[in-house]
Structure 1
Amino acid sequence: MKENQLEELIGIMTLDEKIGMIHGNQLFQTKGIERLGIPPFISSDGPMGCRMDYKPASWQVIGQNYDYTSYLPSNTALAATWNPDISYETGKILGKEARGRGKDMILAPGINMMRTPLCGRSFEYMGEDPYLAAEMVVPLIQGIQENDIAACVKHFAVNSQETNRTTVNAIVDERTLQEIYFPAFKAAVQKGKAAAVMGAYNKLNGSYCCHNDYLLNEVLRKDWGFDGFVISDWGGVKDTVEAAFHGLDMEMSVTDNFDEYYMAAPLKKLVEEGKIPENIINDKVRNILRVMNRLNMLDGERKADSYNDTEDRIQLRKAAEESIVLLKNKQNILPLDEKKIKHILIVGDNGDRLHALGGGSAEIKALYEISPLLGMHMLLGGNVTIQYEPGYYTSVVGNVWDEGWQANSLEEDSAFWNREDSKNSERAEKNREYRQKALDAAKNADVVIYIGGLNHDYDVEGMDRRSLKLPYGQDTLILDLLSVRKDLIVVMMTGSPVDMSAWLDKTDTLVQTWYNGMEGGYALAEILFGKVNPSGKLPETFPMTLADTPACQSGISQDDKEIIYTEGVFIGYRHYDSNHIKPAFPFGFGLSYTDFSVTGGKSDWNRQKRHFR
């Protein structure tokens, strides 16, 4: 359909029909116009797979079994591959699965910069460097949109914290915006041709991002030439007039009073009273129709696509494999040789925890998820005894969220979000019991592998961490294990950096993995046993302590007023390099099992590493 035909459609629409297209009529759906052949527009979270389906007007899952889908590696994991081809292939799977589930737009990818490692949603983003994020997000979008489905990049802009996320005012200077926080979004729009952009909850320099004239009209439309549509984050709109004039095209929220949304009956009333010209509504409808037309939703042959395809699992395993980072291998303990091992001990809750059904809107119903324990069993077969001990007690189960949590997710300081590690007597007693079992078992195993880190009690939408310290008493457990087994292999599974200073200089073998999708546990086993050579590189700096981080002074605003980005452009490695601060591991760091030797000139530099098997 040509642009002039879209104008003809707009010309014969009633005001009610136009209003129905620009706000939610269900939690993830707008109204269609049946008489004109315009279908509803249907969205779905999220970045790690197409989310389960909910009832139209409540946050209750439908409860049927058709919406089990592929579980993808997190965006942080994708960024750690430093491989645009992996990003593209993963995007193709995400788009195909969303289209196969009957969606029109997937609410992904997230590309906010990791200003502080405390941010609860860092696992959804692509690290600290705008160039790396831009190079990885463009092919991801291109892969998604090959499937007649829109990619929606989020959250525009400077959504750097979850604490008071719906009220905090981020004060950021122009240079910092242009050099740090805008480039990945600009690339997503201009190179990736993203069909939609989602506004952030927070304010930027005094105005809410979902109807911020500078962000949406000046930068996005005028400077970057964006011709898709802008959608609010769910519940991100605060004012009808500002939403009408300042660049928002579609309002969504978490409540079921759809006709009372700011861009529903209140907007219609202002148009009828002549306070807002109807042409403003036409502009919004035109932007939405333009995207629908490109998706072949109006008169074209649209792709149907499928999901849970067997061949896609091979690609997702490859993505997981390439994301895992070897941080230390001083004694060449890795790769392990299964022919010389009879008894393996795995310690740590993440050794057998499943993560797909957690993290907030990133949650999905995974068709399956291979834990590290399962992956190890699958790889090694029946000739090796694999023992598992959790080692520490997690009284809060972050994988199973209360049904309907999202309806309350915009309430600041809600009790729901108060999920900090409690120090009650039950936890202390359980920890002692679990720790002792692990220490006793460690004395008799051929190999001891610790798999700990974080989970979606901490890497989670709506809540920031209060420190970089490992939860659940893990530092003490790791130190105790090291006192028994100097050859302990430590694996950290996290979505962002943790403070490892308590034991880092005492361990010789350290591996970083992520929320790595349905094949993540098997990929980790392959890395540990040398079936795959580790090639991942850190997409963010791992600091020694929180005090070393660039945003430490201004930090995270604990009130609902403002946070000033006093560090400016000096986030991530820019801060560490310019201030001569040594991190635990720098941005871009990652080892492999490869042997190599470099010689040349007057001086020879030789470096040997163990052969990759």
Structure 2
Amino acid sequence: MGKSMRLAFAASWVIAVAAPAVLHAEEPAENAQQARARADALVAKMTLEEKLSLVHGLFPPMAAGKTDQELIPSAGHIDGIPRLGIPTVRESDASLGVANQVEQRKGDVATALPSGLATAASFDPEIAHAGGAMIGAEARAKRFNVLLAGGVNLTRDPWNGRNFEYLGEDPLLAGEMAGAAISGVQSNHIVSTIKHFALNSQETGRMVLDARIDEAALRMSDLLAFEIGIERGNPASVMCAYNQVNGDYACESKHLLTDILKTDWGYPGWVMSDWGAVHSTVKAANAGLDQESGQELDKQIYFGAPLKAAVADGKVREARLDDMVARYLTGLISSGAFDHPVPAKAQKIDYAAHAEVARRAAEAGIVLLKNEGDLLPLSGVKKIAVIGGHADVGVLSGGGSSQVRSVGGAPIEIPLGSGAASSFARITYHASSPLDALRKAMPGIQITFVDQRDVEGAKKAAAEADVAIVFAVQWTTEAQDAVNLSLPYHQDDLISAVAAAQPHTIAVLETGGPVTMPWIDKVPAVVEAWYPGQRGGEAIADILTGKANPSGRLPITFPVSASQAPRPEPVGLDKLNSLEAQAAANPADASDYQLKSYPVDYVEGANVGYRWYEQQREKPLFPFGHGLSYTSFAYRNAQASGGKVPSVTFDVVNTGKRKGAVVPQLYVKRDGSDSPMRLAAFQRVTLKPGETRKVTLTAEPRIVADYDTALPGWRIAGGTYTLALANDAEDRSRTFTVTLESATMKP
């Protein structure tokens, strides 16, 4: 069986038995074999210069005068070949919406989704698909046909500056959600990437660090998330990462790009580099890199004249160049981008309808962490004090390439004076005021606002109110990691002071990931709103007032302290700070003080996130999968089965008085194994009061298996396994024992 057919067979089999969600990838415009045949026929008609023109792309902000075709200010541009009908490609960053970070395109706005973590917290691939479809529609209307979306890097460290973009710490959840979002984007006949391949797990030293991990552990964690995402979403392109992996730059790693991605997985599309991630010509091309992106950000245009010379010298075979071009065209054809050109002029966008997509995603992803005494939803109160977080004007968003200039404008936008992100990131708020939304939702209630800098005023307002709501923020960004897990700007002290003045205090957190909560025992209600997007204020108000029932579940563990995590702070941060200090003291020689390659050893291996905490017997503040509701649910009549793949069938009952959603989760562990339990299936279930639904959770086979490098491939060891039907990663109130048959699967 050919590699592409093997991939299709494996994907369909896994989807049939294991997918916890109802939604899968859109059917590609043409299957991979048909698309490749068309691509090969086009390549056969090309001159050498035409082939070379397609394997490196411009970075528009630095590319004026380098093309006769129209340059739209954006992330990337590759000229088309009109005589062969090959379209011009225009690329936009698009993790959370069509990006326009520092307003390259004056006045151009887009719909801003909540952060990736917020979408992941919905545990609902339909939410992810709807968000992807919305972004893809806006991109096409703005004349972009490639979106740099599909971030699926696992959260290995809670302080990673880019955690907010991604989809959490579990490979099954991240892969399912990424695949759904990608298929949504590509339903518009445009390309989505999946990124950053692989182990782009911290921002400190991201251009030079060497991520070290053993093969089996990598296959069972980060690579499994990519594998599932590719199967579910059929992304037309894979973007390789900045960092090194086990000694090779990710964009020069033959093992990652050729052995695993293209051979083991049979991936038919093209591999593009991240912007500024190419370091060589011959090694990168022969390793499997197909296209150099944003060429102006590299030290030279490696895939231009140097590649031409390497082909002439035989250092890169011409057949390899043909394959690079054919893979690029295969991706364009199979996604529909080739045969469905973007419009010649920008199209009108229904921003009002798209705002509802963002609002629904925010509501589904907001997590009620604590609700002591049923303080929420708000009722029977006459006076509310809203404090801090700039809740009077908007909600916070994360920084970097994913920044969206949202409809409604930015009421707060603060440039950075220094740091790795200063050239392309600003501290930005979306114009969606929680204060205004609460006042609209609760007419007749006196709601006052106090700025976070006025601690005495906050204490006074809180004491005089029936309820105090403190909004606390933590800004994170691409290119920089959070230096610790504490809320900045003395907000921990603010929350403690307010809670001392008002026992009915609610903390609403707008953060890029986990934060510590030294005040947790004093605050009866805590809401994690993440970065909730351009309708975040309305979504928060809906949750607080009970118009929406909270249903989000944590896609990431919240530790009690940073010391519980595998690494308490960014690896290399001390070196970076020292070098920056030396460069500041010696500006004439600043280029001498650059961070050099250094190792980051991922000692947790495949035991990422909640698995690490279980293995280390550390009890976190809030576990993966945790989330409360305003109603109650019961699991009844559960029956487990084994055989080839374990499953549990049970009834879910809404035993409360409100409509709501619950996320039953299936965890699995082989008896006698030292490995912690693993999330093997999940499903979001929405029920009316008193409603019952029968659900079957069937384990993803690769979660049950271990990766065997000697095979090589996946091996399910025969024997007894323990299953847990759970509400979160710590819940062991419903366990079952089943017997599984031994089995192997190809890598």
User: Does the pair score TM above 0.5?
Assistant: yes
Which of 436-445 and 168-177 deviates more? 436-445
Greater Cα shift, 520-529 or 4-13: 4-13
For residue 221 of structure 2, the aligned residue among 180, 203, 207 is 180
**Structure-2 residue corresponding to 1:197:** 238
Q: 1:23: which partner in 2? A: 56
Deviations 1:542-590 (A, max 9, x none): 1000011133499566553111111212221112122221110111001
State the partner residue of 1:36. Answer: 84
Match of 2:530 in 1: 514
Work out the CA distance in 2 between the residues paired with 1:138 and 1:325.
23
Does structure 1 residue 372 correspond to structure 2 residue 434? yes
Matches within 5 A, 1:99-114: 99-114=140-155
Task: Name the CA shift for 1:367/1:599 in 2 (closer, same or farther; >3 Å).
Answer: closer
Query: Residues 114 and 5 of structure 1: is their aligned pair in 2 closer, same or farther, counting only changes over 3 Å?
Result: closer
Counterpart Cα distance in 2 of 1:518 and 1:564: 38
Verify: 1:452 aligned to 2:472, yes or no: yes
Equivalent residues in 2 for 1:125-274, closer than 5 Å: 125-253=166-294, 255=296, 260-274=300-314
Q: Distance in 2 between matches of 1:372 and 1:144?
A: 29
Is the counterpart of residue 592 in structure 1 residue 629 in structure 2?
Answer: yes
**Aligned twin of 2:558:** 542
Shift of 1:374: 2.8
Amino acid at match of 1:480: A
Q: Distance in 2 between matches of 1:306 and 1:60?
A: 19
Distance 1:12 1:522, change over 3 A: same
1:342 positional shift: 3.5
State the Cα distance separating 1:257 from its structure 2 match.
Answer: 8.2
Shift of 1:453: 2.9
Measured at CA, do residues 34 and 597 of structure 1 come closer, stay the same or move farther in structure 2, by a change above 3 Å?
closer
Segments of 5+ residues of structure 1 without an aligned counterpart are: 54-58, 393-433, 601-607
Q: Would you say 1:116 and 2:157 are equivalent positions?
A: yes
| Number of the residue aligned with 1:46 | 94
Which residue in 2 is equivalent to 1:325? 367
CA 1:252 to 1:452, structure 2 compared with 1: closer, same or farther past 3 Å? same
Contact 1:95 1:144 in 2 (8 A): yes
Among 277, 290, 304, the residue aligned to 2:330: 290
Equivalent in the alignment of 1:413: none
Distance of 2:194 and 2:492 partners within structure 1: 37
Which residue number in structure 2 is paired with residue 396 of structure 1? Answer: none
- Cα–Cα, structure 1 residues 582 and 257, in superposed 2: closer, same or farther, change >3 Å? closer
1:46–1:106 contact (8 Å) kept in structure 2: yes
Q: Distance in 1 between matches of 2:436 and 2:275?
A: 37
Question: How many Å apart are 1:271 and its aligned residue?
Answer: 2.4
Paired residues for 1:297-336 under 5 Å: 297-299=337-339, 307-336=349-378
TM-superposed CA distance for 1:90, in Å, is: 1.4
* Contact 1:554-1:564 within 8 A present in 2 as well: no
Alignment match, 2:493: 476
Contact 1:359–1:460 under 8 Å retained in 2:
yes
Residues 257 and 90 from structure 1, CA distance in 2 versus in 1: closer, same or farther, beyond 3 angstroms? closer
Contact kept in structure 1, 2:217 and 2:605, CA below 8 Å: yes
What's 1:8 paired with?
Answer: 41
For the structure 1 residues 60 and 359, does the alpha-carbon distance in structure 2 shift closer, same or farther, using more than 3 Å as the test?
closer
Deviations, residues 281-328 of structure 1 (Å, cap 9, x unaligned): 111110111122224444457789763443232232111111111111
Structure 1 539/312 Cα, relative in aligned 2: closer, same or farther at 3 Å?
Answer: same
Taking structure 1 as the reference length, what is the TM-score of the superposition? 0.85
- The answer on whether the counterparts of 1:90 and 1:315 sit within 8 Å (CA) in structure 2 is yes
In structure 1, what is the Cα distance between the partners aligned to 2:183 and 2:399?
25
In the alignment, which residue of structure 2 is the partner of 1:361?
Answer: 401
Q: Is this contact kept in 1: 2:467–2:502, CA < 8 A?
A: no
Q: Greater relative contact order: 1 or 2 (C-alpha under 8 angstroms, separation 6 or more)?
A: 1
Worse overlay, 74-83 or 3-12: 3-12
1:196 CA drift (Å): 0.8
Match of 1:428 in 2: none
Matching residue of 1:280: 320
Contact 2:145 2:342 in 1 (8 A): no
Counterpart AA for 2:58: N
Q: Distance in 1 between matches of 2:359 and 2:307?
A: 48
Q: Which amino acid aligns with 2:473?
A: G
Separation in 2 of the partners of 1:495 and 1:290?
36
Q: What secondary structure, in the 3-state scheme, does the structure 1 residue paired with 2:531 have?
A: coil
Once the two structures are TM-superposed, the CA of residue 248 in structure 1 deviates from its matched residue by 0.9
Distance 1:599 1:188, change over 3 A: closer
Maintained 8 Å contact 2:145/2:191: yes
Equivalent pairs counted in the alignment come to 552
Q: Is the contact made by 2:57 and 2:295 (CA closer than 8 Å) also made in structure 1?
A: no
Distance 2:218 2:335 in 1: 31
Distance 1:598 1:257 in 2: 55
Deviation at 1:596, TM superposition (A): 5.7
Mean Cα deviation higher: 216-225 or 485-494: 485-494
Q: CA deviation at 1:598?
A: 8.6
* Aligned AA (2:122): T
Superposed CA deviations along residues 202-237 of structure 1, whole A, max 9, x for unmatched, are 000000001210000000000001001111110000
Partner of 1:342: 382
Are residues 385 and 223 of structure 1, via their aligned partners in 2, closer, same or farther at CA, if it must alter by over 3 Å? same
- Picking from 381, 384, 390, the partner of 2:451 is 390
1:356 CA drift (Å): 6.8
> C-alpha displacement at 1:267, in angstroms?
1.5
Letter in 1 for 2:85: G
Tell me which of 549, 553, 564 is aligned to 2:601: 564
Q: Matched residues in 2 for 1:285 and 1:587: separation?
A: 42
Among 104, 110, 116, the residue aligned to 1:61:
104
In the TM superposition, residue 41 of structure 1 has moved relative to its aligned partner by: 1.4
CA contact (8 A) 1:373 1:388 kept: yes
Provide the secondary structure at the position in 2 that maps to 1:151: strand
The 3-state SS of whatever aligns with 2:440 is: helix
Following superposition, the deviation at residue 79 of structure 1 comes to: 0.6
Question: Is the CA contact 1:96–1:305 (under 8 Å) kept in the aligned structure 2?
Answer: no
SS in 2 for 1:106: strand
TM-score (norm 2): 0.70
Q: Distance in 1 between matches of 2:242 and 2:406?
A: 28
**Deviation digits for residues 137-165 of structure 1, max 9, x if unmatched?**
22111111110011111111011100010
Cα RMSD between the aligned structures?
A: 2.6
Question: Is contact 2:236-2:335 (8 Å) kept?
Answer: no
Contact 2:271 2:289 survives alignment (8 Å) = yes
SS of 2:385's partner is strand
Cα gap change, 1:351 to 1:556, in 2 (>3 Å): farther
Cα distance per residue 1:388-439 (max 9 Å; x no partner):
22213xxxxxxxxxxxxxxxxxxxxxxxxxxxxxxxxxxxxxxxxx212212
Letter in 2 for 1:484: A
Q: What does the per-residue CA deviation read over 1:37-64, in whole Å, with 9 as the maximum and x for residues that have no partner?
A: 22221110021100128xxxxx87132x
Distance in 1 between residues matched to 2:393 and 2:156, nearest whole Å: 28
Unpaired runs of 5+ residues, structure 2, are: 1-33, 61-75, 409-430, 576-596, 638-653, 660-747
Preserved CA contact (<8 Å) 2:251 2:284: yes
Measured in 1, the distance between the counterparts of 2:601 and 2:147 equals 32
